Amino acid sequence: MEDIITKGIEKGLISFNEDKSRITYTFVNKTRNYLDPEEQVEAESFLKLVFVYNYPVQRIKLFEKVKMGSSTKEADIIVYDDDLFTSPLIIVECKKQEVSESEFLQAIEQAASYAYALSGTVKYIWTTSGIKDSYLQIDKERQTRIQIPIIPILGKPIPKYTFVKGGRLQKEDAGNDIIKQQFFDLEQVSEKELTNRFKKAHQSLWAGGELNPSDAFDELDKLIFCKIWDERKPRKKGEPYEPKFRNTLV
């Protein structure tokens, strides 16, 4: 996270006050409380949209008001498919890292309600706590909600998988430099962040008491074993990790 924050500062997209308690999104001249854990996730998500997913800053709106019947609510981030903000494409809902499973599910539903309230038919929803992500494609006309591996990179199709050994850029054809799709490699995380992810996985399995804590711990052990097994499995650079394991703790 620190690397992408540093890059955001270097590119002039964000700035901080002296004690880093306040963050300013310079392109919209809005200052927020960076001591708020959700704001930290929102800042990182905004910068990922720019640096990882390649969306231009001029198509991103932060803290956007959304009319919901007789009330008005605020969406964390909305990415538009045009410069005039007439075609909403991606809705991002951010929560703090320590969010409970029930709160995370509520956040998904909140983002979905924004998708249905906004104009346009097909939209993508990214709900994130910084260490856990949910990606959905919603089609209002067909009344469908489909889980997808990741939100689309600007102008690229949704991949069947996201993580491959070594990462990879897929070109349109052998003689064309236009990138068709980008895949990512697994990244090392700090011991603190790994512990947080273990806790989050255990909470999800525990489900607020629906499963005995010791049984939940046993299931977590199985997931950790499967992930280690998958990462140690011999594979060539560019080959994908197993889809059923890739999003468990990465």
What are the pLDDT digits (tens) for 224-235?
887 777 777 777
With bands split at pLDDT 50, 70 and 90, how would you rate the model's confidence at 210? low
Q: Which two tokens stand for residue 176?
A: 């064309």
Q: Which two tokens stand for residue 41?
A: 């996730």
> Among 201, 73, 79, which residue's Cα sits nearest to residue 129?
201
59 CB contacts (<8 Å, ≥6 apart)?
A: 79, 80, 81, 82, 83, 85
Yes or no: say if 230 and 245 are a contact pair by the CB < 8 Å rule. Answer: yes
If one counts every other C-beta atom within 10 angstroms of the C-beta of residue 205, the result is: 19
- Residue 164: the pLDDT is 67
pTM for this entry: 0.72
Using DSSP's 3-state secondary structure scheme, residue 171 falls into strand
Residue 211 to residue 85: CA distance in whole angstroms: 45
Partners of 179 in beta bridges: 171
Tell me, what DSSP letter sits at residue 201?
Answer: H
Q: Which two tokens stand for residue 157?
A: 């199709």
Q: Which two tokens stand for residue 98?
A: 């320590």
pLDDT at residue 249 greater than cutoff 50: no
pLDDT at residue 178 greater than cutoff 50: no
* Least confident span in 26-35, 67-76, 125-134, 241-250: 241-250
Residue 240 to residue 153: CA distance in whole angstroms: 18
Partners of 138 in beta bridges: 123, 145
CATH number of 2-158: 3.90.1570
Q: Which two tokens stand for residue 127?
A: 């709900």
With bands split at pLDDT 50, 70 and 90, how would you rate the model's confidence at 196? confident
pLDDT at residue 90 greater than cutoff 90: yes
Question: What residues does each domain of the chain span?
Answer: 2-158, 160-250
Q: Between 159 and 104, name the one with better pLDDT.
A: 104
* Least confident span in 16-30, 136-150, 174-188, 223-237: 174-188
The pLDDT of 177-182, averaged and rounded, is 47
244 CB contacts (<8 Å, ≥6 apart)?
A: none
HEC readout, 42-79: HHHHHHHHHHCCCCCHHHEEEEEEEEECCEEEEEEEEE
The pLDDT of 29-40, averaged and rounded, is 96
pLDDT tens-place string over residues 117-164 = 998 888 999 999 988 899 999 998 888 899 888 898 898 877 666 666
Q: Between 179 and 70, name the one with better pLDDT.
A: 70
- Residue 8: the pLDDT is 96
Residue 212 to residue 92: CA distance in whole angstroms: 33
